[in-house]
Structures are given as structure tokens and as C-alpha cells.
Structure 1
Amino acid sequence: LLKKAGVKIVTVLDVGVVRAVFERLDLRNHRKIVVIDGEIGYAGSQNLADPRLFKQDEDVGEWVDAMARMTGPAVEALQLTLLGDWEFETFEGVEHMGEQLDLRRNRPTGDAVVQVVPSGPGLPQSAIQELILTAIYGAQRELVLTTPYFIPDDAMMKALVSASGRGVDVTLVVPFKPDGHLVKLASQAYFEELLEQGIKIAQYRGGLLHTKAITVDGEVAMFGSVNLDMRSFYLNFEVSLLVYSGAFTGDVRALQDRYLKSSRLLTLEGWRARPMLLKLLQQLAQLLSPLL
């Protein structure tokens, strides 16, 4: 129907016979980007799916997402990322788009400083991880992390523990019911160590929290498609916004507060009292963390 209407559609990283034999099957383009007339851009966590209906057979509730709208020079960087994805799949230059392509130099429209950071195969492998680690190590007062999937590597665990150890108020907000039992178990395997180090863990009860956001000291925000897991760090094609703006960070922090109001905080005593069988399953799932 869309093609008949003139919409150009390309399948990203299609799984075919050639790819199954000669290429990796676990790569995924996880970016969510919209660019309108080269002047307005959107990036964040939301897929083109009705959140009330998407994956409802998994009994996770309505998906809860967030997108950031932007104008100015950041839109150009966002569009270049999108066009790079198109060329990667079609092997076509962007020239064929003709008048439909409007890649312009946009003038600043506000006070925020925005870095658009694409990551994935073919780009510096550790770029997004180093960016997140820098944000965590740079925190002085407060660090709030929102992610649907929390499967950290050793470097991230050390960074979070270090932040809490130097007096930073660290809060991790995750969904109570993520979409995937194995992912949930693997994620929970890290909770006890975090709680022991004074890190707060809030489980969101209002649906499947899918927003990916980090706020640092109310001044800097990271926002986009990156989960706090090894797949996002090393395998997926992702895009993140690093925003230096008290106003934008305040908006994201207010959104995180809304999530926290619909969440329950875990306690170390209560978490340690979970059934022994559950602990065993979490430890087994943790062994598969690099593959999830």
C-alpha cells in the first residue's frame, strides 16, 4: 500500500541466504530517526508501531517511549546518519533523490549544544560506550539512568559503582516487565551488586518502559536509541543525542520523575530474600549476557 502511494521503502539488514552464509545475522539497525524537509528532526526510542498493540502477547502492557524534536544544525547531522543508512542498504548515492533531498546548513535556533553520535559496525567501536562512561564519571551530584534493558559490561559496572562511592546519587529506572524473560533474568543478575553499593533501582509498573535516557547533574542529557546493554554498545547501529542544556535536561529529568512516580524501589534486604531457584536462573542467564 505504501509503495503504491509512492513511498520508498528499503529493508534493513534483511536476513537472506547470502547473509546467512557469509555475514553476521546478529547485527541490527536500532536507530529511530525522522527528518522533515531538512529542517525538523526527531530521535529517541519509539518505533513506528502502536504502543497499545505492539507485542501485547507478551503481557508487558503499553510501551512507554519518548522522542526529542529538534531544529538547527543538529538536524543536518541526523539526516546525514539517515542517508548513510539508506546508502548502506541500497548502494545508491543520495543524488537519485533529486529535489526530495534537502540537505541544508541550518542556523542555530536555540541555546542548546547538541552532539549527534551515530554508532555501530564500521564506526569507532567503543565511541558510544566511552561517551556513556565519560558522562557517568563526570557526574558530581546526581545520575539518573532510564533503560528497558540493563546488561552492562565490566567497565559500566565499575563506573556506576565508582559514582555511587564518591557520593553521587545514582538511580537506575527499568521496567518491571521487559519483553523477554531471558533478558529480564540476565538484567536482574546485576541488581544485588548495585544495591550493595547504594545505587537505587526503580522498577516501572506503568507498562514496558522503553525510553533510553541519562541525565547528569541536571545539566547534561543523553537521549536516543541506545540501551545500557552490550548489544547496543558493540553490535547495533544506534544514534544518540548528547545535549548540553539545562532546559532540555530539566525536561528529560521531569520525564524521569514521572516514571519514578509509577515505580517501586527495590531494597537490598528484600532482593536478597528472593527464591534460591530465581537466583540460580539469574546467574545462568548472566552467562549469556554478551549474546543477548
Structure 2
Amino acid sequence: MHYVNLVVFVFILLNTIAAIFTVLRRKRDIATTWAWLLVLIFLPYVGFVIYLFAGRSLSTKRMQQLNQEYARGVRAYTRQQHLSPADQDQLNSDMGLTGRELARSMWRSASAPLAMHNAFQLFTEGNAKFAALLADIDAAQVSIAVEYYTIYPDAIGTELRTHLIAALKRGVRVNVIYDAWGSLGMRDSWWSEVRSYGGQVVVFFSSKHIFTDFRLNYRDHRKIVVIDDAIAYTGGFNVGDQYLGRSAKFGNWRDTHARLEGDVVTALKIRFVMDWNATDANRPMPYPPLGVKHDDLPLLPMQVVASGPDTPQPYVKLAYAQLIMAARRRVWIQTPYLVPDETIMNALIGAATAGVDVRIMIPNMPDHPFIYRATQYYAKQLHEAGVHILHYQNGFLHAKSIICDDEVAGFGSTNCDYRSFQLNFEVTTFVYGKDATRKFAGLFTRDMQQSHLLTDADIDAQGGWLRFKQQFAHMLAPIL
């Protein structure tokens, strides 16, 4: 028995030392550090297998690719920022103080150019979004750039492929990026006909050494389509039948996506080129020249802000924090996953405490049960601090948006969670001005009519087992 105890002690000691060395050899925030130590110490061996796939950073080679392409992309962005005197006047009028400060902050820090002349059409339902997208693809004459986290080889995925093949037959250039983890079930051979007509398709950061190089983190979560460098689509919709409300599990799928025209299209094309060149350095795409000015379109300032392992700072998170802390009247957020880090959590509580109308709308059902328990935990904490938590009940809410007063609205691929703010490659488009912001507020108000406001009674009715799962999920929130 003495020897058994000694062996167990040595095993625990060696496992603890290995866990500390593994976690501390890379710079992380304190919450993530403790979460990984918890997993590695209390799940011996198994924890290290989990870490192998979910805890490692990108390789040095990948980071060099990203850094080199980011530098090129920043130079391309910089060429786009030329504001006319009329544009300067617009900065000082309709955008408001909060809008002007955010626009300047994101330009100075993230090199995100302010696109002044634009038009947009919002989509909240998949059938309308894909009908418009496929129609624009059918009208394409020069180029189509497609980037999605998820492309499923189902009915709508096959329909998209058919329209891309038809475009290739007309002589249109087609480039496609998709994420391997987000598109599970997709086989490379599914794209063989697209390639046979000259289309180029790449898997984001694919590797021949799938076991040793695969990572659950650092996924390309962006959704971007650019057609003829004149029309762009971006937002929350992926490509799959469930996003058109065809899933019995989720039913109606509520998302936010936009069709964009104007100066902002060039910024999205630059973002696509950066992702393409970092993924496929052997077939690089040229960056677009100085974009054509669209003076025929209304003055509607927009700004594309990207963040991820390829950016020096988590710019989208910083933008969210800046808006929340600058709000004077309201902050309304829609997100399918509510797992905020300490920065965003404190900003939300501070705003609510200061009397700002803070509302957060989340789904009433999980698509990832463990993450949903963490969402419930944070929803409860925020409710107790005076934040209004709304559970959307007409199907699944996948929209990712933020509204600050009547000055700024943001939408895109970024969820309000650790993964989007720190780990994934994301893109969010900020829209400035009262008229545009009120359109987003109108959608939020409409959704409120189909939502349930979280109450003290709802929380009191939660059982002990559910509370335990919420607490446990909260402990692992930084690595979910």
C-alpha cells in the first residue's frame, strides 16, 4: 500500500508539473490559464489529449504567413482612406460623438478605412438572402469571391455550387474558401466539377498532417461574398439547409445578413484577399487598387473591422467595449452565445448600473448544450446586475449585432463570447448614422415581441442539477 501511495503521489506530481509547464509556456489571459490548468490537472492524460486539439496555438509558420499578409492588407486598407471635405463634414454631423470616436479609433488601431458612400439591404431570413445572392451570382461578369465558415453539401450548398459552375462557364473567375471544422462532412472531391471549369477552392489553413496539426480553435468564422468587386454580402448566415429554416430541430432561423454596395465593398474584398493569400500562398490574389468612389450613393458611413490571430489586438472586442462604455441611452445586443470575458462583462454591468438601457437577446434553445449552460450562467449574472435578458422564442436566434444609442450599429460573424473575441477569425461591419441604426433597432424591437424576458421567478425555478451544470460550464468558459 505504501508503494501504491508513492506511485499515485509521483503520478499526480508529474502530471501537475507537466500541466503548469504546458499552460504557462504560452502567454494567455488569467482566466484561460486557470481553465486549462483545471482540465489538465483533474483530467490526467485525457486533459492533454483535449489540449492537443483545442489548446495549442498556431504554428510559427502559420503565424508568419498571417503576419506577412496582414502587413500587405494594412497597406491596401491605407490606400482606401481618403475623406473629402464633404465626408469630413459628415463625420461631425450625423455620426454623433460616439460614432466619430469609434470610427477614428478603429482607423488608428485596426487600420479600418471609413467607407462613406454606401447602400445596404438587410436580410433576417435565409430564403430571401440566398435568393438575392444567387441572383447576383447569375449576373456576375468578372469575379466571385466566396468565404464561409460552413458550406454543407446539402440542397442549398449544391444549389450554390451549380450557380458557381454556371458562372465559370460564362468565363467568371471563382475563388472559394471554407473552414474544415465548420464544414464537417464536406469532401474535397465535392468541388471537383468546380475545379474542372477553372474554379479555385481552398480549405482554410488545411494540412496534410490532419492529426498532428488539427486545431478546434482558430477557425475561419467569417462570412464574405464579393461579386464583381461591386456587391458584397456579409453577416451571420452560413450555407446549409438549417439556415433556411429546413431543420426540424431548430425550425425558423433568425439571422442578420446584408447585401452591400459602395465604398465598403473594397474593404471586404481586401479582407477576402488577405485570407486567400494566407491560406494559399502558391496562388496569391492581387489586392484591389484604390476603390472607385460611389458619389451616386448616399452618405452612409460604414467600417469593416476584422479580428483574430492575424490581428495585433482583438479589435472587434475592443469596439464592443468602447460602444458599451460610451453609450448614454441604450445598448442592445443579439448573440447566440453569451460567454463574455471580464472586459465585456464589466462594461455591460457598468453601463446598466449607470442607467443605460442594456438588453441582450439570446436563443431559447441550445445548438451546443455545454456552451448554452455557460450562456445561462452569464445571463443570470447580468440579470442580477440590471441587464434585460430576452430569450428569443420563434426558432433559433443566430444574429450577431450591437446597437449603441441612435449612432452606431454593428453586425457580422462575431458572437459575444471568448471564442469569437479571442480565438476565431471574425469580421464585423459597423454602420453609422441615425437612419441606419434605427433600422437595426426596428428589427430588435420586432424580435422582442417574440421573446421572453428573464425574471427572478425563472431563475428561482431552476433546479440544483441545472445550476451545477451552469457553474461547471462557467468554470471552463474561457476554453469553450
TM-score by structure 2 length?
0.56
Counterpart in the other structure of 1:283: 471
Query: As a proportion of its length, which structure holds more helix?
Result: 2
Counterpart in the other structure of 2:377: 189
Q: Is the 8 A contact 1:192 1:272 kept in 2?
A: no
Counterpart in the other structure of 1:41: 232
Secondary structure of the residue that 1:215 maps to in structure 2? strand
List per-residue Cα deviations over 1:205-239 (Å, max 9, x = no partner): 11111110000112210111100000001111001
Q: Is the 8 A contact 1:219 1:249 kept in 2?
A: yes
List per-residue Cα deviations over 1:221-267 (Å, max 9, x = no partner): 01111000000011110011111121221111111122211111110
Q: CA deviation at 1:54?
A: 7.5
Counterpart in the other structure of 1:175: 363
Amino acid at match of 1:107: K
Does residue 93 (structure 1) correspond to residue 284 (structure 2)? The answer is yes
Q: Is the 8 A contact 2:237 2:243 kept in 1?
A: no
Q: Is the 8 A contact 1:51 1:64 kept in 2?
A: no
Q: Distance in 2 between matches of 1:22 and 1:138?
A: 42
Q: CA deviation at 1:22?
A: 4.8
Q: Is the 8 A contact 1:15 1:25 kept in 2?
A: no
Match 1:27 to one of 194, 218, 237: 218
Counterpart in the other structure of 1:14: 206
TM-score by structure 1 length?
0.91
Secondary structure of the residue that 1:2 maps to in structure 2? helix
**Total equivalences in the alignment:** 285
Does residue 261 (structure 1) correspond to residue 452 (structure 2)? The answer is no
Q: Distance in 2 between matches of 1:249 and 1:134?
A: 17
Of residues 1-10 and 23-32 in structure 1, the stretch that sits farther from structure 2 once superposed is 1-10
Does residue 67 (structure 1) correspond to residue 253 (structure 2)? The answer is no
Secondary structure of the residue that 2:194 maps to in structure 1? coil
Secondary structure of the residue that 2:278 maps to in structure 1? helix
Match 1:242 to one of 398, 422, 430: 430
Distance 1:69 1:55, change over 3 A: closer
Amino acid at match of 1:49: G
Of residues 4-13 and 234-243 in structure 1, the stretch that sits farther from structure 2 once superposed is 4-13
Q: CA deviation at 1:152?
A: 0.5
Counterpart in the other structure of 1:105: 291
Q: Is the 8 A contact 1:60 1:178 kept in 2?
A: no
Q: Is the 8 A contact 1:33 1:42 kept in 2?
A: yes
Amino acid at match of 2:235: G
Q: CA deviation at 1:102?
A: 6.2
Q: CA deviation at 1:112?
A: 1.6
Q: Is the 8 A contact 1:176 1:208 kept in 2?
A: yes
Distance 1:103 1:9, change over 3 A: farther
Amino acid at match of 2:437: T
Q: Is the 8 A contact 2:252 2:396 kept in 1?
A: yes
Q: CA deviation at 1:46?
A: 0.6
Distance 1:180 1:82, change over 3 A: same
The unaligned stretches of length 5 or more in structure 1 are 96-100
Structure possessing the higher radius of gyration over alpha carbons: 2
Of residues 42-51 and 219-228 in structure 1, the stretch that sits farther from structure 2 once superposed is 42-51
Q: Is the 8 A contact 1:202 1:264 kept in 2?
A: yes
CA RMSD of aligned residues (A): 2.0
* Identical pairs, percent: 36
